[in-house]
Amino acid sequence: MRNMIVKSYTQTIGSDRTWKEDEGFQMYPYSDKIVGGKEHLAVTMFRGTADWFYMYKYKLDESISVNLIFEYNASKKIFYQSDLYLTINETSYKDQQLLEKLATYGKDRAWLQDQSKKVAEQYILGTWFKNGSSRYSLKNLGDMKIEYNKLIEE
């Protein structure tokens, strides 16, 4: 059953990787047809749980990226943005420092809000609703909730 669910989901996101039963977790990148260019998105699945972890990276420059982390907690039925930060040469910046550094690239809180919604609603959930499960949609999430990081909700 686990292999069927994973295979269905990996096909939905355009990944040809298969689940290896001896691994505790595995990462599956989204196809360049869904997200590409300066963007990279991958989902990490853990053995024994339906909680999934999504890592999105937007490259502003060769050594500078904006990183958005989303998680799905199956027991609480919540899809939430657990973190966002800017990385410059392996140094991470959050909160106000993130906004200040981002401004030097012509980006602001509104851009972070747009990127966060695009990643969550178009790339992650939108792809699933379009290619995987038509039972739900962005207008009908059932009992699932979406929450965004407090920095972009201010």
**pLDDT tens-place string over residues 32-62:** 999 989 999 999 888 777 788 999 999 999 9
pLDDT the model gives residue 134: 67
User: What's the number of domains the chain is made of?
Assistant: 1
| Residue 23 to residue 109: CA distance in whole angstroms | 38
Q: Is the pLDDT of residue 4 over 70?
A: no
Q: What SS3 class is residue 40?
A: strand
| Residue 56 to residue 39: CA distance in whole angstroms | 7
pLDDT the model gives residue 19: 66
Residue span of the structural domain in which 8 resides:
2-153
Instruction: Give me the mean pLDDT over the 138-154 stretch.
Output: 86
Percent of the chain surpassing pLDDT 70: 86
| Tokens coding 93 | 């910046």
pLDDT the model gives residue 74: 87
- For 30, other C-beta atoms within 10 Å of its C-beta total 23
Instruction: Give me the mean pLDDT over the 93-116 stretch.
Output: 96
Q: What SS3 class is residue 66?
A: strand
Query: Model confidence over 7-33: pLDDT tens digits?
Result: 466 777 877 766 666 677 888 899 999
Tokens 């260019």 -> residue: 37
Q: What SS3 class is residue 109?
A: helix
